[in-house]
Structure 1
Amino acid sequence: MTRLLVCVTVLFCATVVYGGHEKYEGHQLYRISCTTEEIAYLEAYLDLLSMTPAARTSSGKIEALVRLSPKDKGQWLQHFNDKNISYRKIADNLADILRQDEIQIEAARSAARRAGKSMTWDTYYRYKEVNDYLDELAATYPELVTVINAGLSYEGRQIKYVRISTTRFENLRKPVIVIDAMVHSNEWVTTPVALYIINQLVVDIVDRRLTEQIDWVIIPLANPDGYEYSWEEDRLWRKTRSKNHEFGEECPGVDGNRNFDHYWGTSELSADPCSNNYHGPSVFSEPEIRVIRNAVLAHLQRTPLYISVHSWGNMILYAWGQNGTLPANGLVLHLAGVRMATAIDALALDKADRYVVGNAAHVLYFTTGTSRDWTRAIGIPLTYTLELPGYEYGFLVPPTYVNQIVKETWAGIVEGANYVLSTW
């Protein structure tokens, strides 16, 4: 019986209580099966906790885990019936699942504190702890790590990223790999992956070629406002927290991965400020997304590989998302993606789904304004959305899986870096 089927009754164990879980009392989770067109619509107006691409299902349709509130459940179940979307209930109370997560996270954090460790790979950390860790690395390894204070979020939080280089980014013949994480604030496992990549390049060095021959730009927490809000108020919050748009007070936030300058504003599903994938009032309207833009443009001419780390689904997706056509180097994109996926799969748990590699529109659904497509359009040859494993938990990945996910993903990153070195 999976965790989603367990009713948690012992809740007083947590030493720290985070906010917002009570809003999900009585909210149920349903497993649905539907077409590509329908899933794009549902993502705009429902919280999707996980998604399985059609290539991996026996029905040939996309399967997803959705949250339905007691208030709205009736109308959505009727919608499913009207659209011939099959569904079945998985869990009765999302609040209990979130409380169980909370207990496990705090237990692991407490153990790390007792051991005197500032960062471990078996739990999740807050915004300030992440930034403090980056500063700690820069102070300890000044010859290799530079922390860039790249700008302030909408609510005034400093967005930091690291540049990792043995030559202080002064050797313009070295390729640059750019990686960002936590654009969507409910995808908690993405930041540990980014931090682990930094750790493997700087602290637990296995292959010095990766820093001697490559420069790295890594943004581990791109959306700090949304991330902190997801800790304190709403674990399922996806967007930024900006209000500089129509209905901003009632429906704050923008989907950062719809805010890039590639076919921006061409999807009706992203035009509603109250939708989960609202594209924003203008291109690059979000300061958090401008940080990514500026970091990419700073080294554009020598960047062959860009990866945006997201969660969930075990997928490596490439352009073009707006219409399903392929870039001129589509075959190369696919082959490099398969190499990364194969390296990850070699270390995966037996129960894990194997990675699917393919065009984003065909594997999932049509999207516009994504970082993956924008970076490909401005000239980076290899650009991907990397969707991490969620197992049966979607983006509510319990901390017990973090160590596994960061290690297997690192293997894929190494393979991507080796591909860069073999072709640069």
Structure 2
Amino acid sequence: MTRLVVCVLILAVSLAQGRHEKYEGHQLFRVAITSEELGKLEAHLDILSATPATRSASGKIEALVRLSPAEKQQWLPYFNQRNMAYTKIIDNLADILRDEEAKVQRARSAASRSSRFSFEVYHRHQEINDYLDSLAKRYPNLVTVINAALSFEGRQIKYVRISTSRFENLRKPVIIIDAAAHAREWVTPPVALYIINQLVVDIVDSNLLEYIDWIIIPVVNPDGYEYSFDEDRMWRKTRSKAHPGSDECPGVDVNRNFDHHWGTRPDSANPCAIVFEGPRPFSEAETRVVRDAVLQHVDRTALYISIHSYGNMFLYAWGNNGTLPDNGLILNLVGVHMAEAIDKLALDKAKRYVVGNAAHVLAKTSGTSRDWTRAVGIPLTYTLELPGYEYGFLVPPEYVWQIVTETWAGIAAGANYVLYNW
């Protein structure tokens, strides 16, 4: 190994250690709570995930909560006073993050020796944009790259239109998929990119390409995504600083910034909360990219899926109050159809997918893309929560191929439903 390579590796390790120092002594706890308590805690704490009550022995939602040493002093007594059972599962989050960093670096190093774009690593935002541009050059009759907008920090938010008729055949249904609305959910862009590959490069089902138009946004939130690589692995929001309190607490939760019952949840009003809804609906350039892509083709868009991590769930409207849209039965039917296709390919240790109304399965939310897209007229809209296994959203690269391939099976099942029922 050359001296230069050694120096680069040492530098990378030292940067990773420094990046994760802020989480020294932070611990993760599973806390049994009600859906109402979940909403309240999100205003104050970092809730990494929530397990549906149907999977819980206690009959309550099990929230995965990160507590700093100072937060432990405040919140463990709070849990005790309210008989909220909790169990510590991670003693030092910084150690877990350093381990993940090493695995990610090894996977990227191995992939760099191949000339083929890898779907088994976590690519940076510019690499993803470059890949989209390369596809447009290789397949100009199928792929059009849209330079949709600049993020708050000036990064280009790109998405692709995939069509055999350049979106000019208005009788064809449209499917819209986005990923990485939440910065730390690294496993979501590989799924979006693999869907593009299956439609354009490998063309595993020509009917899905010939008779459906596709819009796929691999990285909705590039500022937050890059920040989670370079500065804070646990970052979730955008990096905007255009709201009161943004000097101390920058960023907005993209998935609370849509104009559907926006401003009706007190837990989303705090700028320092991980679910901060922003100063107004569509305040974020990132949210407006999704909005504009949807509204441009809303009359013929049949299916919208926002890919998130983690929890093995297909969630549908209405998340703000738990009532069902007029096509609630069909939403459940198609969700189950997609879930079953994924479960057939899932690892033995993976949890089976849960399909249901978001408010019933987890908790009430406002301003989500899933509910807004349903409200503006798209019949089938879902939040898809990918598997995390025992790793949460810190999924090691060796599991990425499993996740992208099984998820494609679910997407294809949903697309085939659209194809034959639109």
TM interval, short-chain normalised: over 0.9
Would the aligned equivalents of 1:344 and 1:412 in 2 still touch at CA under 8 Å? Answer: yes
Question: How far apart, CA to CA, are the structure 2 residues paired with 1:137 and 1:205?
Answer: 14
2:254 to 256, 268, 273: 256
1:45 aligns to what SS in structure 2? coil
After TM superposition, the structure 1 = structure 2 runs for residues 24-423 of structure 1, keeping only pairs within 5 Å, are 24-117=23-116, 119-423=117-421
User: Conserved in 1, the CA contact under 8 Å of 2:203 and 2:209?
Assistant: no
Q: Is the contact between residue 49 and residue 393 of structure 1 (CA under 8 Å) also seen in structure 2?
A: no
Name the aligned partner's letter for residue 220 of structure 2: A
**Deviation digits for residues 210-240 of structure 1 (CA, Å, limit 9, x no counterpart):** 1100000000000000001101111111100
Q: Distance in 2 between matches of 1:112 and 1:20?
A: 24
Please state how far the C-alpha of 1:305 moved relative to its aligned partner. Answer: 0.5
TM-score, reference length from structure 2: 0.96
Residue 14 of structure 1, CA deviation:
6.1
2:232 maps to amino acid: D
> 1:324, 1:359 within 8 Å by CA — same for their partners in 2?
yes
Partner of 1:353, secondary structure, is: coil
Helix, strand or coil for the counterpart of 1:304? strand
Distance 2:387 2:25 in 1: 27
CA shift for structure 1 position 12 = 6.6
CA distance, structure 2, for counterparts of residue 50 and residue 268 of structure 1: 20
Determine the C-alpha separation between the residues in 1 that align with 2:73 and 2:225: 31
Q: Which residue does the alignment assign to 2:19?
A: 20
Measured against aligned partners, the alpha-carbon deviations of 1:37-60 in whole angstroms (never above 9, x if no partner) come to 111222232222332110111211
What is the alpha-carbon distance in structure 1 between the residues aligned to residue 85 and residue 223 of structure 2?
36
Tell whether the 8 Å contact from 2:42 to 2:267 is kept in structure 1 after alignment. no
Aligned to 1:6: none
**Worse-superposed segment, 265-274 or 14-23:** 14-23
Does the Cα contact within 8 Å between 1:49 and 1:396 map onto a contact in 2?
no
Question: Partners of 2:210 and 2:398 in 1: how far apart?
Answer: 33
Tell me if the contact between 2:111 and 2:121 (Cα under 8 Å) persists in the aligned partners.
no
Letter in 2 for 1:281: P
Q: Is the 8 A contact 1:315 1:388 kept in 2?
A: yes
Give the 3 Å change call, closer, same or farther, for CA 16–191 of structure 1 in structure 2.
farther
Aligned partners of 2:313 and 2:302: how far apart in 1? 20
Structure 2's unaligned 5+ residue stretches are 1-8
Larger displacement relative to structure 2 (56-65 or 138-147): 56-65
Shift of 1:20: 2.0
SS of the residue corresponding to residue 384 of structure 1 reads strand
Q: C-alpha separation between the residues in 1 aligned to 2:341 and 2:271?
A: 39
- Partners of 1:121 and 1:47 lie apart in 2 by 29
Identity of aligned residues (%): 70
Q: CA deviation at 1:15?
A: 6.0
Preserved contact between residue 14 and residue 103 of structure 1 (Cα < 8 Å)? no
Q: RMSD of the TM alignment (CA)? A: 1.4
Is the contact between residue 47 and residue 236 of structure 1 (CA under 8 Å) also seen in structure 2?
Answer: no
Contact 1:306 1:375 in 2 (8 A): yes
**Superposed displacement of residue 398, structure 1:** 1.2
Asked if the contact 2:19/2:230 (under 8 Å) is kept, the reply is yes
Deviations 1:345-404, CA, capped at 9 Å, x for gaps: 000000100000000000000000000000000100000000111111111111111111
Q: Which amino acid aligns with 1:368?
A: S
